[in-house]
Structure 1
Amino acid sequence: MKTYVCFMLALVSFVLVGATLVTDEPLDKMTLGKRLFFDPILSRNRTISCATCHREDYAFADTSALSLGVFGRKGKRNTPSAMNVRLQANFFWDGRATTLEEQALIPIANPDEMDLPIDLAIKRLNGSKTYRAYFMKVFGELPTKANLARALSEFEQTLETADSPLDDWRLNDNEAAVSESAKRGFALFNGKANCVQCHFGADFNSSEFRNIGLFNGKTLADSGRAAITKKAADLGKFKIGPLRNVSLTAPYMHNGMFKTLAEVIDHYNEPDKRVPDAINRDPLLAKPLGLTQQEKLDLEEFLRSLTDKRFLVKAAVAKKS
């Protein structure tokens, strides 16, 4: 039943997006990548697309701790947002890919996700009269591994957001754009809570990997970055992701173990409480932050102010209907 539902959702998305591309949008690398992103043709049994797990209404993330791939196979890590990736230096929780093009192909071939070896994906695209024509028009050549990756990455690079209430306040000096609580939260983020140590810049992230105390080698056994580098010092370290639109991307962390922003803040406030036997936890989390209940609420309000206005408009429209 789940597989059938996924197939129908992917099919509807493909039909709608495909229709838009054909009738309204000029065909270029980005629009071709968009069509491919929403098309289940890139999964083994044609039941899911990239958009099945990267859901637009949730900032191109998923609402499940672990997403389901073809044949209902459960993934091993939480699906991160596909938004605000243009400035990122590495991809996936463990940083296994260093370019968007490299990243774009890995989920297609992953047995737990789309399970379609890239050679077969290219063969399938070349077997489509429509896609042969599209690729010839856009790239001047038939589908290849390189131009498939390029098209998908071109679409992902358009998923940038920089129009949140926080931007309106900080960049446009609009004091009314955010609440007083969010302003206090911003001060905490940069001060007492010291979140800015790891989350900074345009997208509130960094190129580092950190162990925030969610690895104990037993119940929490995902070694993260260490599986790539083979270094003991990297045990339990994971990528520091962007915070833009974070209010939409629950559940949180590499395993989706925290369901709400409040739970995330509670963990950082008292790192020992949830995982007292953590191994290799970062020294930045050596002791509790000592946040009061009001300070935690203020910090959460600040994080919510990072939601792009396009999503706020959608939420307002949905609330009225």
Structure 2
Amino acid sequence: MSKDSTLNCASCHNPKFAFADTVAFSIGVGGKLGNRNAPSVLNMKNRPYYFYDGRAASLEEQALMPIANPLEMNLAVADAVDRLNKNKEYLNLFYKVFKQKPTAQNLSAALAAYEETLETVNSKYDDWANDKIKLSPAEERGKTLFTGDKAKCFDCHFGPDFTGDEFKNIGLFNSTFITDSGRYDKTKSIADIGKFKVPGLRNVAVTAPYMHNGIFKTLEEVLHYYNNPNGIFIHPQNIDPALQKPLGLTKREQTDIISFLKTLTDKKYKKNA
């Protein structure tokens, strides 16, 4: 599916790691580096926005963008469709499913249909939510912190997939050495500078590195950052009010939150957690 036929979707969205990548920036055609971390594509069904800046409003719209992106697959969508039409196996499959030859529209529909199957609801947390098990003391403490006023995680990470699908600036923009302006690229609204789509947290323990730029290698680094963003990067611009003051989490409290986050790992990925 790439210009030189060396890459496919799984090249950057590795099924072994909850369909995420294990490096900060994935390598595209010709060795080019992407400019944002490849997120997990699990649990993407019915999301209102896609990509960190929300530039796609549907899975179908999202599906074709990496193909044409010069930093990723660097293949014109028309050329991708032409390849499919020249492949007898794919041609037959498209006629079987769509009753017509491959087009850009049904290619995006096919990719989106597959992505919609990638839902995970078989974690320790799900067993707890269904009254099948109890959480450990550390996990229970972490859950209480996660949903409480001290850690404030639940302010942004709520709902079945632990995301409100909102855009937030968590302090990773200062216009000097952290310069990705995020949602602003789409809206051109000053209020959106440095804002990025809040990701879901299911399987988060196996999708390192973290943030839109892959700047944090571990969940420990993430919690350390959230505990006092201003103590890590100076002069963040437009940071969310909830993060303007240190949270005051102790080391044990941070560890407990991580223990809870690990309960969100689907059992099929547990060995990688």
Is TM > 0.5 for Structure 1 vs Structure 2? yes
CA distance in 2, matches of 1:148, 1:88: 20
Q: CA RMSD in A?
A: 1.1
Supply the AA of the counterpart residue of 2:81: I
| Alignment-derived partner of residue 137 in structure 2 | 180
Distance in 1, matches of 2:121 and 2:91, equals 36
TM-score (norm 2): 0.98
Per the TM alignment, residue 88 of structure 1 is displaced from its structure 2 partner at its CA by 1.3
Equivalent in the alignment of 2:32: 73
Shift >2 Å, 4+ stretches: none
For residues 110 and 48 of structure 1, what CA distance do their matches in structure 2 show? Answer: 13
Q: How does 1:220-299 map to 2 (within 5 A)?
A: 220-299=178-257
1:162 matches 2:124: no
Q: In the aligned structure 1, how far is the partner of 2:176 from the partner of 2:272?
A: 40
Which residue in the other structure is 2:171 paired with? 213
The question of whether the paired residues in 1 share the 8 Å contact of 2:206 and 2:272 is answered with: no
Tell me the SS of whatever aligns to 1:172.
coil
Counterpart residue type for residue 207 of structure 2: T
Residue 67 of structure 2: aligned partner:
108
Separation of aligned partners in 1, 2:34 and 2:151: 32
Which residue of 2 is the match for residue 138 of structure 1? 97
In structure 2, the partner of 1:39 is none
Q: Percent identity at matched positions?
A: 52
Aligned to 1:29: none
Q: How big is each residue's C-alpha offset from its partner over 1:168-187, in whole Å with a ceiling of 9 and x where there is no partner?
A: 11222411xx3210110000
Query: Are the equivalent residues in 1 in contact too, given 2:17–2:272 (CA < 8 A)?
Result: no
1:306 partnered with 2:264 = yes
Structure 2: state its 5+ residue gaps: none
Q: Which amino acid aligns with 2:267?
A: K
Distance 1:201 1:96 in 2: 22
AA aligned opposite 1:189:
F
State the alpha-carbon separation in 1 of the partners of residues 46 and 204 from structure 2.
Answer: 17
Is the helix fraction higher in 1 or 2?
A: 1
Report Cα offsets for 1:3-51 as digits up to 9, x if no partner. xxxxxxxxxxxxxxxxxxxxxxxxxxxxxxxxxxxxxxx1000001000
**One-letter amino acid matched to 1:308:** D
Number of aligned residue pairs: give it.
272
Normalised by the length of structure 1, the TM-score is 0.83
**2: CA distance, partners of 1:141 / 1:166:** 43
- Is the alpha carbon distance of 1:179 and 1:223 closer, same or farther for their aligned partners in structure 2, counting shifts above 3 Å? same
Q: Tell me the equivalent position of 1:25.
A: none
Structure with the bigger RCO (C-alpha within 8 Å, sep 6+) is: 2
